[in-house]
Every structure is written in structure tokens, then in C-alpha cells.
Structure 1
Amino acid sequence: MKKILILLLLLSSAAFAQEQSLQLWYKQPAQRWEEALPVGNGRLGAMVYGRTGKEILQINEESVWAGNKFNDANPNAFRYLDTIRKLIFAGENEEALNLAQKNFVAVDDENSNRIARNFRSYQTLMNVNIDYGFTDVTDYKRQLNLINGIATTTYKVNGIEYKQEVLASAPDNVIVVRITTVKPGTINAILSLDRPDTKDTANHMKDCTVTALKNQLILNGRINDKNTKDLRGPEGYHMRFAGMLQAVPQGGTVIAKQQTLQVKNAVALTLYIQGATNYNAVKQDVDEGANIALNKCKQLLQKAVLRSYALIAASHVKDFEPYMKRVQLQINEPALDELPTDERLTLTKTGKEDTHLIALYFQYGRYLLLSSSRKPGVLPANLQGIWNQHIDAPWNADFHTNINLQMNYWPAEVCNLTETTAPLFDFMDRIRPEGRKTAKKMYDARGWVVHHCTDAFGKTGVQANAAFGTFPMAASWMCLHFWEHFAFTLDYEFLKSKAYPLMKEHALFVEDFLVKSPEGYLVTNPGSSPENRFKHPVTGKPTGITYGPTMDNQILREFLSKCISAAKILRTDSLEAVKWDSIIKLLPPTKIGKDGRILEWINEYEEAEPGHRHISHLFGLHPGTQITEQTPSLFEGAMRTLTGRLSKGGGHTGWSRAWIINFYARLKQEDSVRYHLQALFAKSTLPNLFDNHPPFQIDGNFGGTAGIAEALLQSHGDYVELLPALPAAWNNGSVTGLRARGGFELDITWKDGALSGLKLRSVGGRNLVLKYRQHLLPLTIERGKEIIVPVNQLL
């Protein structure tokens, strides 16, 4: 009976995927990492190449990080803070930057004050190599089923069919590979583990060892942090890591030989893959002990191998599938999916529009978020989610908090994956102790702060560059995600116990950090508009360090307004709410320049890079709520800003293009939503549909998914708006399970470009106003109830 139940679960999942065509599939193996297919359970990830000769599964464990824990706030900062502020107010930006570069940038204060201009990188754990030895194969196909989260490779050798399945199970906390064939005794393979080193390939294993023992391979090592030109933190041996593989054949034999396992004459083979480190998420530090990582890895593996592949797969599907089925999107008629995914993508690069690819990409973003940010994982999705092949990754595959980490979670609530936010919230909560030290050391301020990026050890100082790194409003922005979680879920206990304490404590920093400007405003100083610069009006030299940039003001207005709302809901801190309101009134307003565009800085400066990838001064449009149709001059100014930035080459990175899609959805410009989705596919999407910065950076996937949702449903204003930016090419369709602020879930259908059906569910029993085009409909829905809304009342 149990086997029948398992079979029915797997068959139902396969049938749903076929009906919806929710799979990436290819006619050939991956030749490079950007063609491989990802699986993940939040803690472990694998990139599956699907090769028939020498197969590669590149394995990640979320906590494999170079570096170590220390507070990196520069202790000289407060000594020079007042001088830097005076120089900036006086227009002496270059002098201020020179002083800040020497005294603001992160240092290792616990190690002779040596400059540590940046932290170190998230790293790959290992490669699992499976040498099948097949060269001439037929009927080849590899695919990734987004509904059940299983990557499958099938092919024939001399008429004999072989099948490889790979999944990353959250319930069993393990990666499992199942290899089967129709002819007994024909599975033969050599299994090995290795770990790449980007620069020292001759000695790439010297910081770890591989041992073969009976039916196991054990990789055990410790990260050796070496001296680098940019002085990235203390040298020495730091984090310990371990990876293991256990081979369980059905029929045949497996023997250990040197550093390999040799499997002979099996009819089926199950590989259990495990990884662990000595990282302690609560401390954001490592636990001391030579065998902690290895023992943890062994314990996890021993528990997993007690269960068969069939049981693990059934538990995995039962767990994974309901998340993916919560939201279903169909645009136009169901596609037959006759073309491989890479061929479909290639056609979009020639100008062909593919609405099925749009729906697939949308669900792929949900799949990637679910696979890289959930229990048993304890860290949020980083710049590469969880999938990273490098020892020294681009941008360290870190947590960039000047938009990228935030963008990773834009689809979480609206796309009905609220559970994926838990690692993010825990991480930000645990970063506060370091943030308090940094606030005190650098600004003599109360509260906590983090600047433009951080790592697994919770660094909160100014990284690398004083102009770009001086972005303390990153903390304010991160706090808004806590509020958004409450807005969508109405989880009052979360607001009371987790969100509001963190928000209120950061508000203390804001109170102490803001200073009066020559114009009489309360402003950030020093500050920056993320990674952008303007030409100094006197010297003509590009500079980034400034005071009161537009994004800072918009973030602060949003953040303090939400603090006030939270205090009112919780019926607490009325005096603080009055104080926060008085601060809001003294913030610089968002201004329009002579050419009708929104100003990025407090004054109208010439842009050093008119097509810059960051469009930070439109934060108030998205993800903020300050620029809407109710502010017509700013609404028009945002349109002109986008037009100007794009005319100069803006949107050239994947994540920037994704942000632009969200901007145009908020501006109700459906043709532009369509155009920039097409551009995202054509210019910034890799063969496996990963986002291309370039190189790979996952935030564009998440931002693109959020942009598609934003075109179908918006709830940031005073109403829940239906199909606000529906492209004309999406003539017919439906979406089920999207979430709206206020605790609502909606199923929407449309026909011939017009709303044709609406089902509404409420988790909180709140009143709401629906908006469709120019029509408004007030509704009251009881808690837990579902209603079908008569569409004629909205037409």
C-alpha cells in the first residue's frame, strides 16, 4: 500500500507538470555551469550537468564562507565624523571622501588595526563526479520539473535506457541521486569528490582531504584564508567543512579504491550526498573543535541513509509540490512545450515573444526562492541564491543590502511563499549585536546599523569604498521587509515580538544619525546614492559621498511611517510616534529638476554616468509607496526619469532590468512591462534561465518574477488593484493564489484583455476596496471565508 501511495504522489506531480509545461528541458548535457540545472533545499544545493560520460554535480552548503567573525567598524570614524560632515556641507566633497576613505572603511580592530577593505567569499563545497563512461547515446533528454523539484536525465546506450534523478530534500535534509536502468547489471560508474581552486590548480586539494571507506567518500577540510592584495580580513585557517557521499547499489558491488568508489554490475544505484560546516547561525560565528563539521556531516548522512530513495522522494514531493501549486499562472493557451528551453530562449533573442516562457520564468523564480531560502537552511538567499561554483565568487556572492538582498525577497509575499522569509528575518535579527557596536563606534549613536553589504559573520561596517559603502539606510530598508511580512500575513505576534522591536531599535539610530542641513532639513550625512556619482559643480570631478540623497529621504519616510503604523497597531509608544512624525516633516522632499526628471541628489547636479544601473531615486515608486497616481507631478517625473536613464544605456544588468519592469508596472505602462521582459530574456538570461548581471547573479530572477506579479496585482496603495499593467499580448489567462496586503488571496481570470473572473479569500477578515481600471468596489469578507466577486460590479 505504501508503494502505491508513493507511486500516486509521483505520478500526480508528473501529470501536473506536463499539463502546465512547468519544466526546463534540453536535448544535450550542460557544457558549462550556466547550463546546468539547480536543485536545493535551502541548506544544500546542487547544479546538475546531466552528462553521460563524466557527470558533475556541483554541491553547495549555504554556510561555507571564507573569513571569520570580527566587528569591522572603523574606530576612527566618530573622531572624524563632524569634520567630514562640515566638509560635505561646505561642498568640499573630495576632501571629505579622502578623509572618509582613511577613517570610515572597515578595519580589523582586533588585529593591530590592519585595514580589511572587504570580507571574504561564499564558496563551493565540492564536486561529485560520476564517471559513467558512456560516449555514444541516443534519445537524450534532461529536465527540471519545477513542481516536484526533481532534475532528471534520460538516454539510451545500445538500446538500453538509463535514468538519473536528483533531488534536494528538505524533510530528510539531504541530496539524493537515483540511477536506474531497464537491464540488470549494466550500471558501472566511478565516483569521486574534488574541490576546485581558482588560482592554484596544482595544489587544489591541499586544504582538504578525500578518503574512500567501504561505500563512502569523505571530504574533510578547513578554509585557508590567505593574504590578498585588497587585504580582505585576517589570514589563517578558519571555517571547517565536510562533504560525504554514500553509494548504495541494488545488485552489483561497490568497492573503495584509492580516493574513489567503483560501482560494478548494478541495476540501480542510490547516492546520498551530505555537507556541513562548523558554522553557528545563532552566533554568526564558528564553533571551535576539529571534528565538529565532520561529525555533523556524518550524523546527517547516517539519518538519511536509513530511508530508501522511494521514501525520500515521496516525502520530498509531498513537501515541495504544495508550495509550487499555491500559485498557477497561465498566459494565453497552454503551450505544448515542443521546443527545448534553450531554443525557446534563443528565439526570444531574435524578437519572438513567448508567453509560455514568461509563465515558466515566473514559476522558476518561485522555484529558486523556495530552493534557496527555507528550513533546514538558516541563511537568506545570497547574490547567487545558494548555487556557487567558485572559491572566490563575483562580489563574494555576499548579501548586498543596497538593493540586491531586498530584491531577492520581492516575490516572497505576493507569490505566496511567505515561509521563505524566515531565514532572512532570523539573519537580520542576529546581526543586531554587531550593528549596535558599529552604530556606537562609528556614529556614537544608539540602535543598530548595517551598511551596503554583509557576510555570514554579520559584518556591519563600511566595505571597500567610503563613497559607495556609506549607506546606513540599508538597515532602514531591510526593516521594511519585516513590515511587509506583517502587511501580507496580519501576523500580530510577529509584529509584536520580532518586527517592531527591530524597527524601533533602528529608529533610535536614525534619530541620532540625522543632522540639520544648511537648508534646514534633517538629512543623512555622510551618505550616498548607491554606487552612483555626480559631477561636482565647481571642480567637475565625479563624487559619490554627499548628504541627503533622494533615496535616503524616501527610505526614511517609508520606514518611519511604518514605525508609526506599527506603534498604533500595537497601541504603544505614542510619544515615539509623535517624534517620528516630526522627523518625517523635516526630511527633504522628493524634487523635480528643470527637465522634469526626479532629482537623485538634494541639489541638481550633472550626472557622471547618465545610464547608471542603479535608479535609486525611484525607490519611492517601487518598492516604496510615495510616488503614485495621487502624486501626479512625481508620477510624471518618474516616467521622465526612466526614459532619460534608458536613453543613456540604463538597464544593462539583469537585476536593473528587472527593477525597471517593476517600475513600469507601478506606472501602469503595460507596453513597457512587455518590452522590458522581452529585453530581460534577450539580453540578461542564461541558457538555464539564470539571471545574467553579467556574470550570474540571482536577484534578476527574483525581481523579474516580482515584476510579472506586479503587472497582475498591486496592493501597496489604498486598494487592491486587479490587472493594473496587463500587456496586450497576454490576451487571455489566469492566475491563482497571488497574495495582497491585508491578508487576502486572489484568483483572477481575464479574457480578451478584460477581467472575466475573480475569487477572493481572506485570512484576516478585513475590509478592502477592489480597483479595476477606473472602478472601485468596497467589500467586507469574514475571516477565513472565500467569495466569488461578480465581475460586472467592476466593469
Structure 2
Amino acid sequence: MLLLLQVICATQQAFCQKKMSLWYDEPAQYFEESLVLGNGKHGATVFGGVSSDKIYLNDATLWSGEPVAANMNPDAYKNIATIRAALAREDYQQAEELNRNVQGKFSQSYAPLGTMYLDFKHQAAYKNYKRELDISKAVATVDYEVDGVAYHREYFVSNPDQVMVVRLSSSKKGALNFELRFESLLTYATSKGKDMLRIEGYAPYHTEPSYRGNMPNAILFDEKRGMRFSTLASVKNKGGKVIISDSTIQVTKADEAIVYVSMATSFNGFDKNPVTDGADHKAIANKQLVSSIAKGYEKNYADHVNDYHFLFDRVNLDLNDNTTATLPTDERLRKYNEGVVDRNLEILYFQYGRYLLISSSRTLGVPANLQGIWNPYIRPPWSSNYTMNINVEENYWLAECANLSEMHKPFLTFIGNLSQTGKVTAKTFYGVHNGWAACHNSDIWAMTNPVGDFGKGEPVWACWNMGGAWAVTHLWDHYLYTREKKFLSDYAYPLMKGAAAFCLEWLITDKNGYLVTSPSTSPENKYLTPNGFKGATLYGATSDLAMIRECFMQTIKASEILEIDDSFRAQLKTALEKLYPYQIGGKGHLQEWYHDWEDPEPQHRHQSHLFGLYPGHHITPLKTKQLALACRKTLDIRGDETTGWSKGWRINLWARLHDGDRAYKLFRELLRYVEPDGLKVNYGGGGGTYPNLFDAHPPFQIDGNFGGAAGVIEMLMQSNDDKIHLLPALPGAWKDGTISGICARGGFEVSLRWKEGKLVDVKILSKAGEKCSLYYNGNVTTFSTKKEQSYHFDGALTRLDN
């Protein structure tokens, strides 16, 4: 009966659509059309071909390289004094050149594990094809018909069992014939094991970033160096035969076949050599495979779905759209670009962001990278690394507010790793002996040094060192949402203090008596001086000082809560008062530079100097009106045409300015259809969404998905200024709706209902028993709460459950 229903759905697609599904009527041809699955460690990219199904496999812990030698440039700090002297005499050109001396190695790259092929024996043409990803279950399916036989495939990657499972069946007995084989861009070998195909190999010990172009020795392998990996595949059949050779598994005349794939690497920590101190990847892969097979398919499936439901089902969004989607997802996206109203597509995009976070971020110490966990390239775009000047942080804007706090922990634990190498970076590159620093890029080895290959990189992107100050704001945010005081005292505060201590020692006094950073840059952007010099190195970049402000304010609050470090807290308070203040330029904009210089690229993708507005909290329309207006002017000058991740950031910035219609305009533009374009880079008029709803930077970068999804919540609810702001930036397009299960700082879970653009009611679940303040339409109500108790208010914030 189940198979019959699946066949009916394949032939009558218009009547079988699910609101939480992406579906297509053709196999994927490009990576950006594929269906992606993941359990937070292992990733699978399903193309769903008929004659041959291609599945890219990834493991979040499979990277090139080995533990970083943080002391790579021990005398780099000796250049700081001469750079500061050049800046003091306003010789920006010399400062720019000297800044190249404060550089180290590039990061390593996230590696593709390999590709699994399922080659079928179909000779005739297929019909009634449907390829679907149900994000409410994290299950993908493929259905089609050949010669009157209906074929069905089901794919999922289980977190409880740590395996990928593919179930294949047909409507006719004995109709399943296929061969499983494996290929990899890494060094590997295949062999026959007991009831399984074994694949074992290793990653390069060094990979050059792809943006360095074709160069000798870009990829270096050594059998005695580099991350090891094992992949095991086994097939359990009903009917027919299974024959395993040294390179394939052949299945003939089966009624049903279940493919189990187990993956593991030798990664054993950021500071452990993956060869000499590596984990036993062979034993791990074998244990995962044997135990999952012993459980059986039905239990595998049930455990996977239950585990996923526990996370995904926490949040529901309804925008009062009762229409049924009858078009494939890529066609819906095209129609949406033409102006068609499709609020269910907007909901799908929001929930897809949550799906991607659950699927890519469940491995402690290993955050989601630039592509989540899905990457087919041995030299992926920007090394698919952790870019610390926005991208890895944007990956996690969604975690707490979208009720996925557990998914935040891979990044939070990674920050502890950064602090270890960051202590060496602080001393050797910057001459700072207190605290720790992190710079532009990092990787699984927690690299913290400024990149650039010892002087070959442009300071505009290579020489930025505020990654630690930004990263620790996530630790504080996790505390604000969870109120886990032990987490704050035992883990978060020492790291926050270390980042603040670096900044405190790094600051110098300028000629006017203010504290500034020197040298500094504003991430990836350049200034134009009145005499025509275009550069990046200066003193007192607004973005540096904004991040330091946020870091200091949060560390001060944390020390007060914990009642410790009075002396250090006093130092931070004194420094905070002496920081060079924000400046409003001649155009009414928030200055990006110490001086009111021109921007040679006014529509630049970065807007780091607006950090205090978002993701920071010290600029708000209610408390700092003039600065908020200057941020608005800056955004107007920047414009709306930008890359995918940047558009995601601007959605949140406009929401913080309480301009829901402008935020929604950018949200619609974020869903602009982009044709699959491989590795084409577009920094200008780029930005949009690929057919499989991946964010188009272009190329694919997952941070746009996460930033865009976070922006949906930011339009509907914000929690800063110790208040929960209800519908602060509600777009006119979303006049009716409900959202439930989202989280607010203070340890609250919030559910809202609105009609005709006005709040109807709000329910608050208190998880920590803190005092709660609700703000809506100029009205504030404050009340005490009890832990795990709910509270209900109407649109006038009148209590309904007294």
C-alpha cells in the first residue's frame, strides 16, 4: 500500500505536496540542484539520477593539514611599532606595506571524502520522475517508472546510528539490479571485507586556497602525513544476490536492498596529529556499521526521525497561506522572482535554514564551515574554512533564537580551541602578553594567525585581528538565552576575559587622548584619502572599536554576575569610556574610518562598522537614535545589491532599525533565482538562491541561508535592552500569521499571533524563572515568572491567565 501511494504521488504531484518539502521533476545535474542530508557530522549530497545515482559524501572532521605550529612567525610583532609610527605621521602607504610583515600561513581546507555511485541497469526511458527532500523528517526520496516498473529510493543520514542509509525497492519482484562503487579525489584504496566494501585513504597534508589560482604543489599528499579516513558500505537484500569484489558491490534481481554507509576519520582534536595520535577510524567505522545493521532498517528509520523531530518540531511558522504548491521548487523560485506571492515558499526557506543547521552542526569543536558540511571540491571556494570576520558567526545567528541551542555548541567549543593557539598569536604577531587573539581565517586546527603567506596577502583581507572579540559574544549570547550560570563561570567567562584582555593591551592612545587600535583594518574594505591614496591599514577602524565595545560591556556584565575580577572590570570600564566615539560623517552616515574618508566602493558587501547595531546591541533606535539614523543612512548608501551572506546581514540590520518592509524587500531578493554556476564568483550584483535553496554568494556559501532565516525571527521578535520586542519589524506583506517556539534572551520561549498587522496574543514560557519585560507598540509590561511556567497576554499586553 505504501509503494502504491508513492507511485500515485509521483504521477499526481499536484495533489501530494508537503509544505515542508523541496521537490523536482528531474534528476540533479549540478551540485546546486542536489538534495543534501546530514547528521551534524556526515553529509550526503544526492543527485537522484536514474541510470546512475551520484552521492557526494563528506565528514565534518575530514580536512587537509595537521595541528598548526602557532609560533610560525616569532618576530612579526617587532613590526608593530614601526607601523604605528608610520600611522602617527599619517603615512598610510608605508603603513600598508609594513603591515604585510605581520602575516603567517593560510588556513587548510575542508576536504571531500568521496563519491558513491549506484549504477542501475535501466535501458528504457523513465517517466513520472520525482525527487524530494522532506525537511520535516530529514528524508530524501526518488521515484520514477521504467518499463511499467515503479522504483523507489529512500535516503537518510542518522545521528543516533552515525550512518547513511539508502533503501531501494520496486513494484516488481526481482527488478532491482545495480552496482555500488566509490571514487575520491583523495588518496584511497578499496578492498573486499566481510560482507562489506572497504574504502580507506588520507587527505593532503597541505592544500593551497583555491583563490591563489594554479600554482605548483597546491595539493600535497604524503602517506605518513594527513588525516586518515575509512568508509564502509554494506548491502542487505531481500531476494536476488549480492556479490562483493575489491571495488564494487553488485546487486542482482533483488526485491529490496538496503545500503548502509559508515564513515569515520582519525581526527582526535585540533592539537593531535591525525597519524601518530589519531582516532581509530577503522574501528569506529566498523562499530557504526555493525551496530546499525544489527538494529535493522525500521529501527534505524524510527530512531533517526524521532531524533530529528525532537529538534525540528520546536518552531512553527504560519503566514496564513492556504494555497497548495503544484510546481517543483525551482519553478516556484522562478515564479517568486517574477513577483508571485508564495508565503509558503518563504516559510520553507526559513525552516530550511533550521534544517541545514541541524544537519551540519552537531560535532563538538567542529562548527559548520562555509559550506556547512557539503563540499565536492578538493580546493573548495575560500577553502570552505572558518572565515572569522563574519561568516562563521553568521552561521550561528539562527541557533539560539530558532530554539536550536544545542547546534550552537560546536562553535562555542571551537572558541576554546582558538584561545589556545590564540595566546601564541597574540604574543608573536602583536606583542600582546595577556589574553588571546583570532584573525581572518581559521580551520579545524584552530589556526588563529593572520593569513597572507608571510607578506604575499593584501592587508585589506589578511591583517584583521578582531576574530576573538567577535567570537566570544556568542558565548555571552548562549548564556543570555539559557541562563546556564555554570557554563558562564566555568567556560565562557575565562574566554571572554582572555579576548577582552587582548583588546585592552592592544589599544593605544591617539593624539586626542582616545583609545584606538593601531594598526587596524575594516574587513575587506578600503578607504580613499583626500590625497588619493587607496588603502586598508589605518588606526581606529570603527568596526574594531564596535566589537571591542561589545566585548568589554559583556565581559563587565559577566564579571558582575559572577562577582569576580573587580580590578579587571574597573580597567574595562575605564577603557570603555575612553574609546574613540562613533563619528557621523558629512553624508549623515556612520563613519567606517577614523576620518571622514571617501569609500572607493560605496556599495561594498561588508558593513562591519554597523556591528553595534547587529549582531551587537549597543546601537538601537530607542536608546541611541542619532547613531541608528546614521546606520540607516549607511545602509542606504550601501544599497541592496550585494552577495548572499551580506544580504542576510542587511536583512537583520534593517529589522533592528524596525523597518520591516525594507528587511522584507531584501528577504525577497535573497530568494532571487540563480542558475547553477559552479565556482563562478560574483561580488557585485550577486546574491540569491540556487534551485536547491542553497545560498548563492555566488558561489554557494551557507551563511546566507542562516542569516536569512535569522532575519525572519528578527522581523517578528527581538530581545535586547532587557526587553522582548514583539513584532518590531513586521512587514506589510505578512499581515496575518503565527510563530511558536522561538526563543528570547532571558530564558524565554515565545509564541505570537497577529492579524491585520496587529498583535493578537502572545504566550511566554519561562525556562529560567527570570523577570520578563514585553514591549509592543510603545507599551511595556514587566512581570515575574516561575521556571517552566507559561504566561498569556493579549495584544494590549493585558494578562489573560491571572
Q: Could you tell me which of 415, 427, 447 is aligned with 1:428?
A: 415
CA distance, structure 1, for counterparts of residue 279 and residue 628 of structure 2? 59
Q: Does 1:383 align with 2:383?
A: no
What corresponds to 1:164 in structure 2? 153
* Most deviating of 248-257 and 565-574: 248-257
TM-score (norm 2): 0.91
Amino acid at match of 1:738: I
Structure 2 residue aligned with 1:223: 203
- Candidates 511, 523, 527, aligned match of 1:530: 523
Looking at structure 2, the residues matched to 774 and 560 of structure 1 have their Cα atoms a distance apart, in angstroms, of 30
Shift of the 463–127 alpha-carbon distance from structure 1 to 2, 3 Å rule, reads same
Structure 1 residues 20, 255: CA separation in 2 closer, same or farther (over 3 Å shift)? closer
Cross-structure match for 1:69: 67
Residue equivalent to 1:644 = 637
In the alignment, structure 1 residue 665 sits paired with structure 2 residue 658: no
| Residue type of the alignment partner of 1:80 | N
Match of 2:188 in 1: 208
Partner of 2:53: 55
Q: Distance in 1 between matches of 2:261 and 2:442?
A: 29
Q: CA RMSD in A?
A: 2.1
In the alignment, what sits opposite 2:495? 502
Give the match for residue 11 of structure 2.
none
Q: CA deviation at 1:18?
A: 7.8
* Distance change >3 Å, CA 714–CA 230, structure 1 → 2: farther
Deviation track 1:121-170 (CA, whole Å, cap 9, x = no partner) reads 11110111001233522221111111111011112222222211111111
Percent identical among aligned pairs is 36
- CA distance, structure 1, for counterparts of residue 417 and residue 723 of structure 2: 35
State the secondary structure of the residue aligned to 2:168. Answer: strand
Distance 2:217 2:92 in 1: 26
Q: After superposition, where does 1:167-246 map in structure 2 within 5 Å?
A: 167-196=156-185, 207-213=187-193, 215-225=195-205, 229=215, 236=222, 237-246=225-234
CA shift, 1:713, in A, is 0.3
How much does 1:460 deviate?
0.9
Deviations for 1:310-337, whole angstroms, at most 9, x for unmatched residues? 1111001111012111000011223422
Structure 1, residues 239-281: CA drift from partner, whole Å, max 9, x if none?
Answer: 2222221111122111124521110111111111122221112
Determine which of 261, 264, 283 is the counterpart of 1:273: 261
1:561-710 pair list within 5 angstroms? 561-629=553-621, 630-646=623-639, 651-682=641-672, 683-710=687-714
Distance in 1 (alpha carbons) for counterparts of 2:584 and 2:469: 24
Native 8 Å contact 2:58 2:112 kept in 1: yes
Q: Is the 8 A contact 1:58 1:389 kept in 2?
A: yes
Q: Deviations over 1:768-795 (max 9, x none)?
A: 2211122222222211101211333469
Q: 1:514 aligns with which of 475, 493, 507?
A: 507
Indicate conservation of the 8 Å contact 1:278/1:287, yes or no. yes
Distance 1:132 1:627 in 2: 59
Q: Which runs of 5+ in 2 are unaligned?
A: 3-14, 209-214, 673-686
Match of 1:202 in 2: none
**CA, structure 1 residues 739+230, in 2 after alignment: closer, same or farther (shift >3 Å)?**
farther
- How far residue 299 of structure 1 moved from its aligned partner, in angstroms, is 2.9
Of 389, 413, 416, which aligns to 2:400? 413
Aligned residues: 755
1:651–1:489: structure 2 CA closer, same or farther, 3 Å change rule? farther
Instruction: Report the TM-score when normalising by structure 1.
Output: 0.92
Name 2:722's counterpart in structure 1.
Answer: 718
CA distance in 2, matches of 1:442, 1:290: 30
Cα distance change of structure 1 residues 30 and 756 upon mapping to structure 2, 3 Å threshold: same
Task: Classify 1:651/1:463 alpha carbon distance in 2 versus 1 (closer, same or farther; 3 Å).
Answer: farther
Corresponding residue SS for 2:356: helix
Q: 1:100 to 1:792 in 2, by over 3 A?
A: closer
* Aligned partners of 2:766 and 2:787 also within 8 Å: yes
Question: Helix, strand or coil for the counterpart of 2:150?
Answer: strand
Q: What is the distance in 2 between the residues matched to 1:268 and 1:330?
A: 39
Q: 1:110 maps to what in 2?
A: none
CA 1:281 to 1:508, structure 2 compared with 1: closer, same or farther past 3 Å? same
The alignment partner of 1:191 has SS state of strand
CA gap of 1:326–1:20, structure 2 versus 1, over 3 A, is farther
Higher mean C-alpha deviation, range 75-84 or range 222-231: 222-231
Query: Separation in 1 of the partners of 2:91 and 2:312?
Result: 54
Cα distance change of structure 1 residues 450 and 792 upon mapping to structure 2, 3 Å threshold: closer
Does the residue aligned with 2:141 lie in a helix, a strand or coil? Answer: strand
Distance of aligned partners of 1:231 and 1:574 in 2 relative to their CA distance in 1, 3 Å threshold: farther
Residue 231 of structure 1 and its aligned partner are, at CA, apart by 7.7
User: Are residues 479 and 227 of structure 1, via their aligned partners in 2, closer, same or farther at CA, if it must alter by over 3 Å?
Assistant: closer
> Aligned with 1:353: secondary structure?
coil
Shift in Å, 1:428:
1.3
Question: Residue in 2 aligned with 1:113?
Answer: none
Distance 1:653 1:792 in 2: 40
Q: 1:595 to 1:56 in 2, by over 3 A?
A: same
Whether contact under 8 Å (1:126, 1:195) holds in the other structure is: yes
Report if the CA contact (8 A) 2:266-2:278 is conserved: no
Rate the CA distance shift 1:794–1:619 in 2: closer, same or farther, 3 A.
Answer: farther
| 1:85 counterpart letter in structure 2 | R
Q: Contact between 2:268 and 2:278, CA under 8 Å: does it hold in 1?
A: no
Of 497-506 and 461-470, more deviation after overlay is shown by: 461-470
Shift of 1:427: 1.3
2:37 matched to which residue of 1? 39
Q: Secondary structure at the match of 2:695?
A: coil
Contact 2:197-2:246 at 8 Å conserved across structures: no
Uncovered stretches (5+) of structure 1, i.e. residues with no partner = 5-16, 107-115, 197-204
- Whichever residue aligns with residue 247 of structure 1, its letter is V
- For residue 756 of structure 2, the aligned residue among 739, 752, 756 is 752
Q: Does the aligned pair in 1 maintain the 2:109–2:207 contact within 8 Å?
A: no
